[in-house]
Every structure is written in C-alpha cells, then in structure tokens.
Structure 1
C-alpha cells in the first residue's frame, strides 16, 4: 500500500532576531504559516529504509544518511522500537535553501508519513523532541499550521490569526543561492523589538536587509510583487531568497503570477493559498 504526505512550504509572515546566543544560535520570534502546496513524499512498506529523489530541484541532493528524510525515518524507528522499513520517494518541487522549509518540511512530512505507514503511536511530546533533535524549524513544520515560534524557532505557541486560512499567496524566488549562515552573519545585531503577533503586518523580517546585501535580486522580487494589482502584503520569508505576496483574490494572484512569469521566466513561482 502506498502512502503520501505533502511537505508544506513554510512561510515566515514575520521574523524578529532578538540576539545572538553564546552557542552561536540566534534567539528568534517568528510567525509561522504554511502553504497548502510543497514537496511530495510517498512511502510503501519494505524490509529496509531507502530514499530516492526526483523532481525539478532534485539535482545535487544526496539520498544517503545525511538526508534529513532518512535521519527522521531512523529517529522514528528508534523512538517507536519498530523494525519496519520503507521505500521512500521524495518529489522535490520547492527550491533548496530558499527560506520556505525545504529539508525541514521534508523531514517533518516523513515523520507524519511513516507514523501512518508503520501504525506507530508516538506521544506528542516525544515527537516534538525527535523534531527538535533534527532541526530548529522541524517542530513547526511537523504541525504545519499557523503558530508563534520563539527560542531558535522550536518553542511553539498555538494561536489564532484571523483571516489567514485560504488567503491567496504567491511565492517567488529568483533562483539565486542564499545560504542561511552568511545571512545571519550579516545581521546588524540590533534588537529592534518584540514581535506583536496580532500586528504582524506591521512587524519585520530582520533578515531581509542582510539577505538583499548578499542577493540583490531579492529587492527586485519584492519590487515586482509590490506593484501587482490586488496585492495586500509583501515580505521575504525566512533567510530568503523566496519572497511572498498576499492577494485579495485568486484571480489577482494568478494575474500577478502570469505578469511576473512573462517578464522574468527565469524565476521560480508558486501560486497557492495559506492553510
């Protein structure tokens, strides 16, 4: 029997960097949201664990023990005590290292997928610990719902943000490398204040300026999104280079996608909605 699970694209509606910690990580405050689309994982029962990767962004990805999907699978095996295996396939539809979850979303989707495939019962607290051990964004990606994140992003607080679900959103990436490490290194180390969740439209992404310094094309993406008819909000997600725009209607979102694609066919676009 074949099981499938979407690795939903992660969106940082706001991202405040508060300080750099002694362990070199950064204290963050962020509002996570998720699109209804993303990478796709499938799995079927097998005696051992294996992973294959296809899709438009599969090139350069290793399907070995360094891959977060297999690391998540093995961590779940240990936690559940199961000896079951799985043949896992990852259809890599989202750009890599693009500020929208990527490997973190894939690992979280693998945990959800294999829990169903293997029919194992893992307490929520234990699953959260598995996710934290794999990566800071993975607990949020495991839930894949709107949530406030603090600490390094792993401390999650459930909340209700009105009028988010179903909002038309357009993701745009100029397909320029924007690695997380250099972006954080270029952060100005100024604490510009706390994130007020219910006022997130007037909040910030403190990594936007350093990311633009490294990848100037991000500014062009933002500028193109801001002038589209029906746009209500524009910001960069995570550490970049993906930017997003929210729209009043699906038709206006699709019109913006067509207009931008016509002028910049070299950019990656994903018209979708928030979950």
Structure 2
C-alpha cells in the first residue's frame, strides 16, 4: 500500500489523573485487576510525524533527556504498528514535544502513543475506525485507549476496558511535579508488601464518586479521591506526604498521588484558588515544578495550530 504524504501532521494529547484507583489482589500472572476513574486534563504533549528516509524519534521539552530514542519509545512503536498494519515500507520521523511529566504517574508515554496513532492515521489517510484505533491502542498499553478517548471514564481489567462517565462542568487542578521518577513495578510491589497477607477484595467503582461527577460537585469529588497505590508511593518517596499536607494546608480541597506517582494532584475550588495554591507551592520549593490544568478535556486529536500556549 502506498501512503506517501509530504505534509507533516501534529496531534495533541492530554495527561490523565486517576480520580480513583482501586487495585485488586495479585494474580498468578503477576498483574492486578483494577478499577479506576481516568480524568483527562489540559496538560498536553504534541506529537508530529513526517515522511523520512529512515525511522527515528526525537523528544524535546520536559524530561526529554530521559525519554528513549530507540524501538522502546511508545510513540515510535505506535507509528511502526500502523505501518505494519497497512503494509508499507515507508518510514517516518516522529517528534515529541513534552509537557506531561516523564515517569510521573500521568501516562505521558501512553499519551504519546495515542497521539502517534492519530497523527499517522491522518498523515497516511488510512481511515481506521475509532474502534480499530482503540484495538491498536490496547495492544500498545493499558493506558493508551483512554489517551485516545479523553474525558472521564471508568477503566477496568488492566485499565484498557473503558466506560465513559457522565461529568458535569469542569474541575481546576494543581499538579506538584517531582522530577525524581518512581518505578511503577516498584510501587505495585510495595503496595503488595504493605498489604501483607490480608485478603484484598475485587475492585469496583465508588458510587459516591460517580454521583459527585454527575453533579459537578467539587467538594464531594475532593472527599472521594482515592488511590490504593498512594501509601506505597509515599513509602518509597516520603516527601510526597509532606507535599500533600502542604497543599491541603494552603487551600486545596483534596489531594491525591496520580497513578503510581510521584506527581501529586490537588483539586481546587476554582481557577483563582488554583493560582493561589500554585504560588504557595512554588514558593515552598517542596516540589520541583508546579503547573495548573483543567479537566475534563478531549483525547488525542489532530491540530493545525501548534504554537506554544
């Protein structure tokens, strides 16, 4: 199949925060079932694909030096996945401009894979259906399907099975970033260690959280944020506890470690409260960087104006 196109295509993709992450028991295959509520926020990466003589991937922006530039890069893997699917020998240069933290518990690598799928599909006009793109996303990683969809959704299985959640209004967030990454397998292992031999129930969504989202009730949402990995992340990186306490003492309605960490997400009453908290956290130097974001937002999509905000 000949799919030549000379025009580069750029896709934008959001970060995610887990409003709820409930982890089931350790299974025989070494994995855990989970029930999570994904929430996409407008902290975004851009992925650009263009025709090239050979395959390559380059990364700029936050944490660029720690992102692989070989076959293990998820954005490159996604682009090559489509190439194999359509049966072309053409190569692409993949360029990733990062704002989503690397190894920060916000699914930055998975987001870049989703953006690459969308960008290559548009560049080559392959015409894959949304369901076909979702199937490819699930093969690339459990967080990739949500990065395609965005919004707010319940994830089950490993997180790849999605059900959209009705959510009213928008929510204002502050993210305290720690540039020292946490290994996801290490956090899960610590979670298992802390649980010991106590029986672990099968995970399921919290009805109170669903009701808070349907009502757009920020106070109720703040009171129902939950992450089963939070204690494990704080055990491995104790300053996350200090970060959460500082944010709560400076006006945040709720605090949660995002995914496996080490990013800490603070839910705020409104935009002005978020700005005030951002200033307070920045002045404290308790974390390496502080950013604000709003959610929910759409998932990966092609853009034509990619000038920096």
Q: Tell me whether the two structures share a fold, i.e. TM-score over 0.5.
A: yes
Distance 2:138 2:16 in 1: 16
CA contact (8 A) 1:170 1:272 kept: yes
User: What displacement does 1:192 show?
Assistant: 7.8
Equivalent residue runs for 1:44-123 within 5 Å = 44-123=50-129
- Name the counterpart of 2:179: 175
Structure 2: distance between partners of 1:85 and 1:193 = 43
Say which is worse superposed, 194-203 or 38-47, in terms of deviation: 194-203
Question: Is this contact kept in 2: 1:84–1:118, CA < 8 A?
Answer: no
Matched, 1:137 2:137: no
Mapped to 2, the partners of 1:114 and 1:183 lie a distance apart of: 34
CA drift at 1:34: 0.8
The residue matched to 1:186 in structure 2 has which SS? helix
Q: Does residue 1:211 correspond to 2:239, yes or no?
A: no
- Given the two structures, how large is their TM-score scaled by the length of structure 1? 0.92
Deviations 1:32-77 (A, max 9, x none): 0111122222222335432111213111322111111111001111
Using the alignment, how far apart are the partners of 1:126 and 1:79 within structure 2? 11
Offset at residue 82 of structure 1 (A): 4.0
Conservation of the 8 A alpha-carbon contact between 2:52 and 2:93: yes
Of 184, 201, 208 in structure 1, the residue corresponding to residue 188 of structure 2 is: 184
CA contact (8 A) 2:12 2:47 kept: yes
Shift of 1:179: 0.8
Q: Highest Rg: 1 or 2?
A: 2
Q: Which residue matches 1:195?
A: 205
Residue from 153, 159, 166 that aligns with 1:153: 159
Question: C-alpha displacement at 1:5, in angstroms?
Answer: 1.8
Match of 1:5 among 11, 14, 39: 11
Structure 1: runs of 5+ lacking an equivalent:
none
Which residue is equivalent to 2:277?
A: 256
Q: Alpha carbon RMSD of aligned pairs, Å?
A: 1.9
CA contact (8 A) 1:48 1:86 kept: yes
Q: In 2, are the aligned partners of 1:195 and 1:203 still within 8 Å (CA)?
A: no
TM-fit CA distance, 1:112: 1.2
Residue of structure 2 in register with 1:22 after alignment: 28
Task: Give CA deviations for 1:178-201 in whole Å, capped at 9, x if unaligned.
Answer: 111111111126338532251573
- Alpha-carbon distance between aligned partners in 1 of 2:16 and 2:90, rounded to the nearest angstrom: 30
The 3-state SS of whatever aligns with 2:126 is coil
CA apart distance, 1:260: 0.8
Q: Which moved more, 1:59-68 or 1:145-154?
A: 59-68
1:223-262 alignment to 2 at 5 Å?
A: 223-229=245-251, 231-262=252-283
CA contact 1:44–1:87 (8 Å) conserved in 2? yes
Q: Distance in 2 between matches of 1:27 and 1:101?
A: 18
Of the three residues 183, 206, 221, the one matched with 2:243 is: 221
- Deviations for 1:124-178, whole angstroms, at most 9, x for unmatched residues? 3322221111111111112122111000101111221223x3x211111232321
Q: Which moved more, 1:23-32 or 1:188-197?
A: 188-197
**SS of residue in 1 equivalent to 2:204:** coil
